[in-house]
Structure 1
Amino acid sequence: MPRNLKTYPTLNADVLVIGSGAAGMATALALAPLNVLLVTKTEGLVGGSTAHAQGGIATVFAKGDTPALHADDTHFAGAGLTDKAAVNHLTTEGSKVVEQLLALWMPFDRDAKGNILVGLEAAHSMARIVHAGGDATGWHLSQTLAAAVEKARHIQVVSNTHIAELVKKNGKLTGAWGFNTQDGWLKLQAANVVLATGGAGQMFSHTTNPAASTGDGIALAYEAGATLADLEFVQFHPTSLAVKTPDGKQPLLTEALRGSGGKLVNKNGERFMLNLHKDAELAPRDVVARGVWAELAADRTPYLDVRHIANVETKFPTVTRLCAEYGLTPATDLLPVAPAAHYYMGGVRTDLAGKTDVPGLWAVGEVAVTGVHGANRLASNSLLECLVFAKSAATDIKQIEKQNVKIGTTPPRLTLVKHAAATKQNLRDTMYKSAGLVREKQGLENGIQKLATLQNLPALIATGDDIPQAIELHNLMTLAPLVLTAALARTESRGGHMRSDYPTTQSTHKKSILINKLQSTSKVEKEGVYRNETAA
Structure 2
Amino acid sequence: MGHDSVIIIGTGMAALVTALKLCNEKNVKLFSKNGIGDGNSWRAQGGIAVAIDHTDYPSNHYEDTLKAGGYHHNLEATMLMVEKGPALLRNWMEMGMEFDRDHRGHLSLGMEGAHNSRRILHAGGDQTGMRCMNFLQRLLPKNVEVIKEQVIDLQVTDGVCDGVVTKKADGNTNTYFAEAIVIATGGCGGIFQHTSNDPNLIGSGLTMAYRAGATLSDLEFLQFHPTVIHKNGKVIGLASEALRGEGARLVDEAGNITMENLHPYGDLAPRDVVARAIHENERLQKKNYLDITRIPKFKERFPHISKMCEEAGIDLKKGRIPVTTGAHFHMGGVVTDIYGRTSIERLYAVGEVARTGVHGTNRLASNSLLETVVFGTQVAEDILRRSSEVACKTKETHQTMKLGKEPDLPAKEDIRQYVSNALGVTRTSATLQGFLTWLENTGLQQWKDASWLNWKIETIERATMITTAWLIARSAMERTESRGAHFRVDFPQRQKKWRNAQLIHEGESLRAKRTKGWKTNDQQMVTS
TM-score with structure 2 setting the length: 0.90
3-state DSSP class of the match of 1:175? strand
Answering whether residue 453 of structure 2 is matched by residue 499 of structure 1, we say no
Q: Which sits farther off after the overlay, 469-478 or 116-125?
A: 469-478
Q: Is the 8 A contact 2:289 2:320 kept in 1?
A: yes
Match of 2:509 in 1: none
Quick one: which of 49, 54, 58 aligns to 2:40? 49
**Matching of residues 11-90 of structure 1 within 5 Å:** 14-90=5-81
Change (3 A) 1:322 1:109: same
Which residue number corresponds to residue 514 of structure 2? none
Pick the aligned partner of 1:338 from 324, 335, 338. 324
1:233 to 215, 221, 239: 221
Distance 2:483 2:271 in 1: 12
Matched, 1:447 2:428: no
User: Which ranges in structure 2 are unaligned for 5 or more consecutive residues?
Assistant: 502-518
* Deviation of 1:455 (Å): 2.5
Of 403, 412, 418, 1:430 maps to: 418
Q: How many residues align?
A: 502
Which residue pairs with 1:6 in the alignment? Answer: none
| Residues 236 and 343 in structure 1, CA contact (< 8 A), matched pair in contact too | yes
Cα contact 1:414–1:462 (8 A) shared by 2: no
Residue deviations 1:111-143, cap 9 Å, x none? 112222101000000000000000000001111
Q: 1:106 to 1:299 in 2, by over 3 A?
A: same
Is residue 364 of structure 2 the alignment partner of residue 373 of structure 1? Answer: no
Give the residue type in structure 2 aligned to 1:67.
P
Q: Distance in 1 between matches of 2:31 and 2:289?
A: 37
**Distance in 2 separating the partners of 1:415 and 1:55:** 45
Whether the 8 Å contact between 1:79 and 1:374 is mirrored in structure 2 is: yes
Task: Choose the corresponding residue for 1:101, options 92, 102, 111.
Answer: 92
Counterparts of residues 75-224 of structure 1 (less than 5 Å): 75-149=66-140, 151-153=141-143, 155-159=144-148, 161-181=149-169, 184-224=172-212
Where structure 1 has 5 or more consecutive residues not aligned to the other structure, the ranges are: 1-9, 519-536
CA offset at residue 14 of structure 1?
1.6
SS of the residue 1:212 aligns to: coil
For the residue of structure 2 that corresponds to 1:362, the secondary structure is strand
CA distance in 2, matches of 1:419, 1:239: 36
Partners of 1:26 and 1:139 lie apart in 2 by 14
Kept in 2: contact 1:175–1:406 (CA 8 A)? no
Q: CA deviation at 1:82?
A: 1.2
Secondary structure of 1:240 counterpart? strand
In 2: Cα distance, 1:11 partner to 1:294 partner: 54
**Structure-2 separation of matches of 1:28 and 1:413:** 34
The equivalent residue for 2:505 is none
**Would you say the 8 A contact 2:38–2:198 is kept in 1?**
no
SS state of the match for residue 275, structure 1?
coil
Alpha-carbon displacement from aligned partner over 1:41-96 (angstroms, at most 9, x marks no partner): 34332332000011100001123100000000000011121121111000001112
Conservation of the 8 A alpha-carbon contact between 1:67 and 1:92: yes
Deviation at 1:453, TM superposition (A): 2.0
Which range moves more in the overlay, 161-170 or 499-508? 499-508
**Residue range with higher mean Cα deviation, 275-284 or 108-117:** 108-117
Corresponding letter in the other structure for 2:15: G
Distance 1:11 1:210, change over 3 A: farther
State the alpha-carbon separation in 2 of the partners of residues 415 and 204 from structure 1. 29
Q: Is the Cα–Cα contact under 8 Å of residues 343 and 366 in structure 1 kept in the other structure?
A: yes
Secondary structure of 1:499's partner? coil
Aligned equivalents of 1:89, 1:376: Cα separation in 2: 18
Instruction: Answer with 124-133 or 427-436: which moved more.
Output: 427-436
On the 8 A contact 1:14/1:403 being kept in 2, the answer is no
Change (3 A) 1:410 1:182: closer
Give the secondary structure class of the aligned counterpart of 1:168.
strand
Question: Which range moved further: 46-55 or 14-23?
Answer: 46-55
